[in-house]
């Protein structure tokens, strides 16, 4: 006899299994593999060309500054994958299937977090390991650097994944998703990823504080850059407390709103709503 | 666990209103354990709405609905585990392999296994039952329409449901796939444990599979009974032919069974070449839908 399990335990276990299966699928399928590799490879190319460009008078190199920032941006992109997956899987009925299965919705969400976060970690590794060979001047020799990297990443995912789930439930059409992408690109542009934020106009620097991309980039730089690089940051500080505060606030907001929004979305799912969305999508194509 | 003959579905005065339009006005019917019900009706009659309300996917406007003793609007996950749902079309999990998905979805039902009903259904056995064994390792998106549909049915069955909803299960099937599917439903029905509610546009299918037929027209159930009884409620009659003393006879009667019994009683061995052609369900169906829709129009005009 199978031991009795609480529904929460089932949801966690099934969700974990589900996440791993989908993660494996995304690495054994040519299209997905390309998508996983394209972005890191592109970024590595950018870094390669930036690697010798000096910035400021401290002897810092632009490539050195950009690598941790790009890692942070990448982590923040989990928000977009989460939103896109939700929209797509609502359209093809995966969500409805989850709804028709006992404890299915919770497992589905656990599974999505595992898949998206797992994919991000792999992408991060693809970017970071060759990046360490191309780029000089990173401070990765200490345990401290890796610990900081870990907490920034975990907190960053907590901040961006629930938020992505909320955005995915709110924007139901692919047009909405396009808009969302535009907003995220704007966020990246003002977040000082490719060029230090202190060289931007002050009002833009102000805007960046609302973007989780900025805080993830800052956190990553605080982990991987030498102490001297702090001079190009706002206020000449890594502002780790503020990073925890800002990412923590996004995480709390996302975690507070997500269950409510997701429940509302799930309530609306039925065979006819899935069929209606598909008809709309087909009309757009046809 | 339900005992044989227990009431599984109980719908009374179900109403559904979208804006100012009533789609369902007081739908009432029920089902006992092990029955196979076919819900027929023209497009837009509210079949899908009715099923979605019973599945707990849609909130009703008014009326009493009990599915396995529970109001679907407040169904728990435990309740959900006793249902199987096969919708009109699924395209989900295209990247999964057939066996992988069935085995995975089965794990959700394991905590709801009881001594009487072992959940989930063994993946290998289930694949065999729906005739997908040889496709078990294929990616789902590479399946043909009929194979995909059989997988959907398998997913509907993986938790060994006490009640199975099948929304147009054989739409798009070729005759052979249809025949195999009918065999599957009949095997399920033979155990008298799973109650099945199916919608279809194929009247022969309804006739073949269902113990009882419900016709939904104009937002109401206008007929509820075995296919034979429905035929008797309309003017449609059966045709009986026979030979006696070398002469051919033919007669039309709404009660062919009683007529034939009378015939044998009167003439016994003299009767040969007996042939009974039942009034087609199609005649009956068209007549009942016509009446139902006319009644709905009159009721609306009288408001």
Each residue's pLDDT, cut to its tens digit, for chain B (303 residues) gives 444 578 999 999 999 998 888 889 889 999 999 999 999 998 888 898 999 999 999 999 999 999 999 999 999 999 999 999 998 777 899 999 999 999 999 999 999 999 988 999 999 999 998 889 999 999 999 998 888 988 999 999 999 999 999 988 887 778 888 888 898 888 888 887 899 999 988 888 998 999 999 999 988 999 899 987 876 666 667 789 999 988 999 988 878 888 999 999 999 889 988 998 877 777 788 888 888 888 888 877 877
Instruction: Provide the residue range defining the domain that includes B291.
Output: 230-302
User: Do B108 and B127 belong together in one domain?
Assistant: yes
CB-based contact (8 Å) between A94 and chain B? yes
Residue A100 C-alpha, separation from nearest chain B C-alpha, in angstroms: 7
pLDDT range class, residue A1, cuts 50, 70, 90: very low
Per-residue model confidence (pLDDT) at position A57: 67
CB pairs under 8 A between A and B: 83
Whether residue A255 contacts residue A155, with contact meaning beta carbons closer than 8 Å, is answered with no
The token pair at A169 is 């439930």
User: Do B187 and B237 belong together in one domain?
Assistant: no
User: Do B40 and B174 belong together in one domain?
Assistant: yes
Q: Of B228, B247, B275, at which residue does a domain stop? A: B228
B124 lies in some domain: yes
CB contact under 8 A, B100 and A21: yes
Whether residue B159 contacts residue B84, with contact meaning beta carbons closer than 8 Å, is answered with yes
User: Do B88 and B203 belong together in one domain?
Assistant: yes
Cα–Cα distance measured from residue B254 to residue B242, given in angstroms and rounded to the nearest whole number: 17
Cβ-based contacts of A96 with chain B (< 8 Å):
57, 87, 92
CB-based contact (8 Å) between A97 and chain B? yes
Q: What is the largest CA-CA distance in chain B?
A: 69
Cα–Cα distance measured from residue A145 to residue A226, given in angstroms and rounded to the nearest whole number: 10
The token pair at A133 is 């060979």
Per-residue model confidence (pLDDT) at position B235: 62
Residue A32 C-alpha, separation from nearest chain B C-alpha, in angstroms: 11
User: Do B29 and B86 belong together in one domain?
Assistant: yes
Contacting B residues, span 102-141, partner chain A, CB-CB under 8 Å: 104-105, 107-113
Cα–Cα distance measured from residue B91 to residue B292, given in angstroms and rounded to the nearest whole number: 35
Nearest to B90 among A4, A21, A97 (CB): A97
Residues ≥6 apart with Cβ < 8 Å to B302: none
Whether residue A119 contacts residue A19, with contact meaning beta carbons closer than 8 Å, is answered with no
Per-residue model confidence (pLDDT) at position B3: 46
CA nearest B59 in A: which residue? A267
User: Do B149 and B247 belong together in one domain?
Assistant: no
- Residue A77 CA, chain-centre distance (Å), reads 3
User: Do B234 and B219 belong together in one domain?
Assistant: no
pLDDT range class, residue A274, cuts 50, 70, 90: confident
User: Do B262 and B139 belong together in one domain?
Assistant: no
CB-based contact (8 Å) between A17 and chain B? yes
Q: Of B167, B195, B228, at which residue does a domain stop? A: B228
CB contact under 8 A, B77 and A102: yes
CB-based contact (8 Å) between A30 and chain B? no
H or E, element range at A190: helix A174-190
B2 lies in some domain: no
Nearest to A270 among B52, B113, B159 (CB): B52
CB contact under 8 A, B81 and A102: yes
Q: Report strand pairing: A60-61 vs B7-18.
A: unpaired
Mean pLDDT of A29-43: 86
User: Do B94 and B18 belong together in one domain?
Assistant: yes
Per-residue model confidence (pLDDT) at position B136: 96
CA nearest B51 in A: which residue? A271
Q: Mutate which of A19, A92, A93, A102 to disrupt the B interface (most B C-beta within 10 Å)? A: A102
User: Do B126 and B163 belong together in one domain?
Assistant: yes
B24 lies in some domain: yes
CB-based contact (8 Å) between A186 and chain B? no
Whether residue B278 contacts residue B228, with contact meaning beta carbons closer than 8 Å, is answered with yes
- Of B211, B155, B250, B198, which Cα lies nearest the Cα of B48? B198
Mean pLDDT of A82-111: 90
CATH number of the domain where residue B224 is located: 3.40.50.300
Cα–Cα distance measured from residue B131 to residue B144, given in angstroms and rounded to the nearest whole number: 13
CA nearest A265 in B: which residue? B57
User: Do B83 and B140 belong together in one domain?
Assistant: yes
CB-based contact (8 Å) between B142 and chain A? no
B1 lies in some domain: no
Q: Of B228, B261, B279, at which residue does a domain stop? A: B228
User: Do B36 and B151 belong together in one domain?
Assistant: yes
CB contact under 8 A, B88 and A100: no
Torsion angle of the four alpha carbons A172, A178, A184, A187, in this order, in degrees rounded to the nearest 10: -120
Residues ≥6 apart with Cβ < 8 Å to B179: none
Number of domains chain B contains: 2
Residue A135 reports pLDDT greater than 90: no
Per-residue model confidence (pLDDT) at position A286: 54
């Amino acid at each position: 006899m199978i031991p009795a399990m609480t529904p929460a335990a089932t949801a966690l276990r099934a969700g974990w299994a589900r996440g791993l299966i989908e993660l494996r699928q995304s690495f054994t399928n040519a299209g997905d593999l390309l998508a996983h590799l394209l972005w890191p490879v592109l970024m590595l190319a950018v870094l390669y060309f930036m690697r010798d460009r000096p910035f400021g008078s401290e002897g810092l190199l632009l490539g050195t500054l950009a690598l941790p920032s790009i890692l942070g941006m990448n982590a923040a992109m989990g928000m977009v994958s989460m939103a896109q997956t939700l929209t797509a899987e609502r359209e093809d009925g995966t969500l409805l299937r989850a709804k028709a299965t006992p404890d299915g919705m919770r497992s589905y969400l656990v599974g999505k977090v595992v898949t998206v976060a797992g994919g991000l970690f792999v992408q991060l590794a693809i970017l970071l390991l060759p990046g360490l060979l191309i780029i000089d001047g990173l401070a990765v020799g200490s345990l401290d650097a890796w610990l900081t990297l870990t907490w920034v990443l975990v907190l960053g995912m907590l901040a961006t994944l629930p938020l992505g789930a909320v955005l995915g439930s709110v924007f139901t059409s692919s047009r909405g998703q396009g808009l969302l992408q535009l907003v995220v690109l704007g966020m990246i542009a003002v977040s000082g990823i490719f060029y230090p934020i202190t060289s931007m106009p002050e009002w833009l620097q102000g805007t960046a504080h609302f973007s989780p991309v900025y805080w993830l980039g800052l956190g990553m730089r605080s982990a991987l850059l030498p102490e001297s690089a702090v001079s190009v940051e706002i206020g000449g500080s890594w502002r780790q407390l503020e990073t925890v505060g800002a990412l923590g606030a996004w995480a709390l907001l996302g975690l507070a709103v997500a269950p409510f929004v997701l429940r509302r979305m799930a309530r609306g799912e039925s065979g006819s709503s899935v069929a209606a969305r598909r008809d709309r999508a087909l009309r757009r194509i046809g | 666990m339900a005992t044989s003959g227990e009431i599984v579905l109980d719908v009374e005065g179900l109403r559904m209103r979208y804006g100012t339009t009533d789609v369902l006005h007081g739908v009432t019917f029920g089902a006992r354990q092990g029955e196979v019900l076919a819900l027929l009706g023209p497009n837009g009659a509210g079949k899908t709405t009715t099923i979605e309300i019973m599945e707990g996917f849609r909130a009703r406007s008014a009326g009493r609905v009990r599915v396995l003793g529970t109001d679907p609007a407040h169904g728990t996950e435990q309740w959900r585990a006793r249902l199987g749902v096969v919708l009109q079309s699924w395209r989900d999990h295209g990247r999964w392999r057939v066996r992988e998905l069935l085995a995975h979805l089965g794990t959700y039902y394991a905590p709801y296994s009881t001594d009487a009903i072992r959940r989930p259904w063994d993946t290998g056995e289930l694949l065999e039952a729906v005739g997908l064994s040889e496709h078990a390792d294929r990616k789902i998106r590479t399946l043909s329409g009929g194979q995909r549909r059989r997988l959907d049915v398998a997913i509907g069955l993986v938790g060994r449901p006490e009640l199975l909803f099948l929304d147009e299960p054989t739409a798009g099937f070729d005759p052979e796939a249809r025949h195999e599917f009918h065999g599957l439903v009949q095997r399920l029905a033979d155990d008298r444990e799973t109650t099945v509610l199916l919608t279809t546009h194929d009247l022969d299918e309804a006739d073949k599979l269902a113990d009882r037929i419900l016709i939904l027209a104009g937002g109401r159930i206008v007929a509820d009974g075995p296919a034979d009884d429905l035929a008797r409620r309309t003017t449609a009659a059966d045709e009986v032919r026979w030979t006696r003393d070398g002469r051919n006879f033919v007669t039309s009667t709404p009660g062919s069974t009683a007529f034939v019994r009378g015939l044998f009683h009167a003439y016994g061995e003299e009767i040969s070449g007996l042939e009974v052609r039942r009034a087609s369900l199609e005649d009956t169906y068209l007549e009942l839908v016509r009446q139902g829709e006319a009644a709905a129009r009159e009721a609306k005009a009288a408001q």
